[in-house]
Amino acid sequence: MPLFDRKDKSRYATFTRRTLTMGGGIAAIMTALGARLYQLQILEGEEFMTRADENRVNQRLLAPLRGRILDRFGVELATNRRNYRVDLIPEQALEGVDAALDTIGRIIVITSRERERILHDIAENKHFVPTTIAENLTWDEFARVNLHLPYLPGIQPEVGETRNYPFGDQLSHVLGYVAAVSPDDKTNDDDPLLDLPGFRIGKRGIEKAFDLQVRGTAGASRVEVNAYGRVIRELGRDPGAPGADVYLTIDNEVQKFVAQRLGNESAACVVMDVANGDVIAMASTPGYDPNDFNVGITETQWKGLNEDDHHPLINKVLSGVYPPGSTFKPAVALSALDSGLLPADFSVNCTGSLQFGNYVFHCWKKGGHGHVDLHRGIAASCDVFFYEVAKRVGIDTIENGAHKLGLGYQTHIEIPGEKAGVIPGRAWKEATLHLPWQQGETLNTGIGQGYVLVTPIQLCMLAARVASGNQVVPRIVHVVGHTVEQRPQLKRLEFSDAALAAVQSGMNAVTNEPGGTAYAWRIPNPGFEMAGKTGTAQVRRISKEEHLAGVKKNDELPWNLRDHAHFIAYAPADKPRYALSILLEHGAVTSHPHVQMARDILLFTQQRDPANMTAGYPVNAADNGGARL
CB 569 within 8 A of CB 271: no
Answer yes or no: is pLDDT of 53 > 70.
no
SS3 159: strand
Residue 13 confidence (pLDDT) = 59
Instruction: Pick the range with the lowest mean pLDDT from 241-255, 283-297, 451-465.
Output: 283-297
Residue 531 confidence (pLDDT) = 97
Q: Which of 326, 381, 468, 581 is catalytic?
A: 326
Residue 593 confidence (pLDDT) = 92
Selected residue with higher pLDDT from 500 and 628: 500
Percent of the chain with pLDDT over 90: 55
Residue 321 confidence (pLDDT) = 96
Q: Using 50, 70 and 90 to split pLDDT, how confident is the model at 617?
A: very low
Residue 552 confidence (pLDDT) = 58
Please report which helix (H) or strand (E) contains residue 331, including its range: helix 329-339
Residue 571 confidence (pLDDT) = 96
**Mean pLDDT of all residues in 269-284:** 96
Of 613, 562, 603, 564, the closest CA to residue 580 belongs to: 603
Residue 188 confidence (pLDDT) = 64
pLDDT tens track for 225-257 = 665 555 667 677 777 788 999 999 999 999 999
Instruction: Pick the range with the lowest mean pLDDT from 177-191, 332-346, 568-582.
Output: 177-191
Give residue limits of the domains in the chain: 6-43, 58-246, 252-294+321-616
Answer yes or no: is pLDDT of 167 > 60.
yes
Answer yes or no: is pLDDT of 316 > 80.
yes
Answer yes or no: is pLDDT of 585 > 80.
yes
CB 77 within 8 A of CB 250: yes
CB 579 within 8 A of CB 272: yes
Degrees (nearest 5) of the Cα angle 617, 463, 466? 105
SS3 459: helix
Residue 615 confidence (pLDDT) = 42
The CATH number corresponding to 252-294+321-616 among 3.40.50.300, 3.30.70.580, 3.40.710.10, 3.40.1440.10 equals 3.40.710.10
Residue 619 confidence (pLDDT) = 41
Residue 620 confidence (pLDDT) = 39
Q: Using 50, 70 and 90 to split pLDDT, how confident is the model at 281?
A: very high
Instruction: Pick the range with the lowest mean pLDDT from 67-81, 98-112, 244-258.
Output: 98-112
Please report which helix (H) or strand (E) contains residue 537, including its range: strand 531-537
Return all residues near 221 (Cβ < 8 A) that are at least 6 apart.
59, 60, 62, 234, 236, 237, 238
Selected residue with higher pLDDT from 140 and 57: 140
pLDDT tens track for 190-214 = 778 887 777 889 999 999 999 999 9
Instruction: Pick the range with the lowest mean pLDDT from 195-199, 385-389, 486-490, 508-512.
Output: 195-199
**Mean pLDDT of all residues in 562-577:** 94
Answer yes or no: is pLDDT of 70 > 80.
yes
DSSP secondary structure of 475-521:
B-EEEETTEEPP-PPP-B-SS-HHHHHHHHHHHHHHHHSTT-TTGGG
> CATH assignment of 58-246?
3.90.1310.10
Q: Using 50, 70 and 90 to split pLDDT, how confident is the model at 123?
A: confident
Distances in Å between the Cα of 202 and the Cα atoms of 210, 212, 444, 509 are: 8, 9, 42, 45
**Mean pLDDT of all residues in 51-78:** 80
- φ, ψ of residue 38 in degrees (nearest 5): -60, -40
**Mean pLDDT of all residues in 477-503:** 93
Residue 428 confidence (pLDDT) = 97
**Mean pLDDT of all residues in 157-179:** 91
468 is catalytic: no
Decide whether 58-246 matches 252-294+321-616 in CATH topology: no
Residue 52 confidence (pLDDT) = 54
pLDDT tens track for 429-441 = 999 999 999 999 9
Answer yes or no: is pLDDT of 545 > 90.
no
Answer yes or no: is pLDDT of 520 > 60.
yes
- Cα-only R_g, the chain: 36
Instruction: Pick the range with the lowest mean pLDDT from 378-382, 576-580, 623-627.
Output: 623-627
**Mean pLDDT of all residues in 111-122:** 83
DSSP secondary structure of 344-398:
TT-EEEE-SEEEETTEEEEPSSTT--EEEEHHHHHHTT-HHHHHHHHHHHHHHHH
Answer yes or no: is pLDDT of 629 > 60.
no
Selected residue with higher pLDDT from 613 and 140: 140
Q: Using 50, 70 and 90 to split pLDDT, how confident is the model at 91?
A: confident
Q: For residues 104 and 96, give the distance between their C-alpha atoms in angstroms, rounded to a whole number.
A: 13
Instruction: Pick the range with the lowest mean pLDDT from 258-262, 329-333, 603-607, 624-628.
Output: 624-628
Mean pLDDT, the chain, as a whole number? 86
